[in-house]
Amino acid sequence: MAKSVELSSFDNLVANSLTESELEEFNRIYYGRKDHRFVQINKSNIEFAKHNNFDIAAYDFPAQKEETRRPRIVKVGIIQHSIAISTDKPIVEQRQSIFDKIRNIIIAAANEGVNIICLQEAWSMPFAFCTREKQPWCEFAESAIDGPSVQFLKEFSAKYGMVIISPILERDKIHGDTIWNTAVVINEFGEVMGKHRKNHIPRVGDFNESTYYFEGNTGHPVFETKFGKIAINICYGRHHPLNWLMFGVNGAEIVFNPSATVSGLSEHLWSVEARNAAIANSYYTCSINRVGTEKFPNEFTSGDGLPAHKEFGHFYGSSYVTAPDGCRTPGLSRNKDGLLITQLDLNKCRQIKDKWGFTMTQRLDLYAESLKKAVQPEYECQVIKKK
């Protein structure tokens, strides 16, 4: 465990281990392009990021020039971060300390002309679901209409004309004070445009989220924002290809995957799933994971016979963006807060659909018919046996 935390960046490891020509080949084969198409970041923002202890990186995903459509360039910023103070401090202080660090990162994003920001899953709290304790963690749950996080982010949305996606622990007062894992979409005027609730809830490792909330009831909404059609596939939903598919069916051009996942469990899957989804659905995917090792006041067990402990594993960051053609950015650090900016030409989505024809050749009708049968209790698997 300690060793994996020490590795601050897979990409730096690769870059520092290869010669220039080997690295070019690595980038061509692994990333789908020979260079990363860095976008220049303002010097003052680089200094500002250094001073406030977060990384900042920016990359370009251009599309081919078209005769009948103008480029549709959108600047996306994804933010990964650790919690800011220990988990035994008062709830309001914990949340405020996260707000304080996020404020700086949003300002840097705004200075770089970012149009859409997405934060990580349950960004305004520690990922305390491992504990299975209701107190005090349920107190982090907040309204998706006017809770502290929405109030905090609305100001930035309106001030900078940005769309902000805020994945929170939601408290739905209207429906019996129910708790949900929800992403709130705030438009460029600081108004809540809508929300999406996590469709798939994990029951793996220390991710005891089903103790707190149920599978979402908002379907697969796509939000038609000023800057493009966006959707949110929250964390564990990335293991479900049909969840990704439905956002594509509803016309998403960018699908965000705000996550909280730990090394040991999922790191070998991290670079595969969202990238594959981008390819299969001809849209951009933006993968965001939190950073750090979170320690809780009371011991909890993991149902694996090992001793009780107070620490969740290491959240390994490594946030990255993939284009519809499967090219991707390097990942952010494994252990440091960061802002990853990508300049996306949304025309690329249709260009890749035209080139590869994945939306044209997918057999939704066939699958719909087969799935309808497969969910029947009396269903028999379509298996041909040797006589």
Ligand X SMILES: NC(=O)NCCC(=O)O
Distance of CA 296 to the CA centre of its chain: 24
What whole-number distance in Å separates Cα of residue 253 and Cα of residue 210?
30
Active site residue 235: yes
Q: Does 120 bind ligand X (CB under 6 A)?
A: no
Q: Does 265 bind ligand X (CB under 6 A)?
A: yes
CB-nearer residue toward ligand X: 233 or 343 = 233
What is the number of other CB atoms lying within 10 angstroms of the CB of residue 144? Answer: 22
Given 266, 322, 343, 347, the residue binding ligand X (CB under 6 A): 266
Active site residue 198: yes
Q: Does 169 bind ligand X (CB under 6 A)?
A: no
Given 260, 321, 332, 341, the residue binding ligand X (CB under 6 A): 260
What is the number of other CB atoms lying within 10 angstroms of the CB of residue 291? Answer: 24
Strand partners, 3: none
Q: Which of residues 170-229 bind ligand X (CB under 6 A)?
A: 202, 204, 207
CB-nearer residue toward ligand X: 75 or 196 = 196
Strand partners, 183: 167, 196
What whole-number distance in Å separates Cα of residue 87 and Cα of residue 93?
10
- Tell the smallest beta-carbon distance from residue 92 to ligand X (Å): 24
> Omega into 71 within 30° of 0, i.e. cis?
no
- Written as one string, the DSSP assignment of 18-50 is S-HHHHHHHIIIIISSSS--B----HHHHHHHH
Q: Are 333 and 316 in contact (CB under 8 A)?
A: no
Q: Does 87 bind ligand X (CB under 6 A)?
A: no
Helix (H) or strand (E) holding 356: helix 347-356
Distance of CA 347 to the CA centre of its chain: 22
Strand partners, 342: 59, 76
CB-nearer residue toward ligand X: 64 or 217 = 217
Instruction: Give the interface segment with ligand X, choosing from 84-92, 107-115, 260-268, 308-316 (CB under 6 A).
Output: 260-268
Task: Please tell me the count of residues contacting ligand X according to CB under 6 A.
Answer: 10
CB-nearer residue toward ligand X: 33 or 240 = 240
- Tell the smallest beta-carbon distance from residue 130 to ligand X (Å): 10
What whole-number distance in Å separates Cα of residue 146 and Cα of residue 141?
12
What whole-number distance in Å separates Cα of residue 145 and Cα of residue 166?
11
Q: Does 292 bind ligand X (CB under 6 A)?
A: no
CB-nearer residue toward ligand X: 183 or 352 = 183
CB-nearer residue toward ligand X: 132 or 350 = 132
Given 78, 153, 192, 235, the residue binding ligand X (CB under 6 A): 235
Which one of the listed residues 112, 121, 142, 253 is annotated catalytic?
121
What is the binding site for ligand X (CB under 6 A)? Answer: 121, 202, 204, 207, 235-236, 260-261, 265-266
Q: Point out the residues that are catalytic.
A: 121, 198, 235
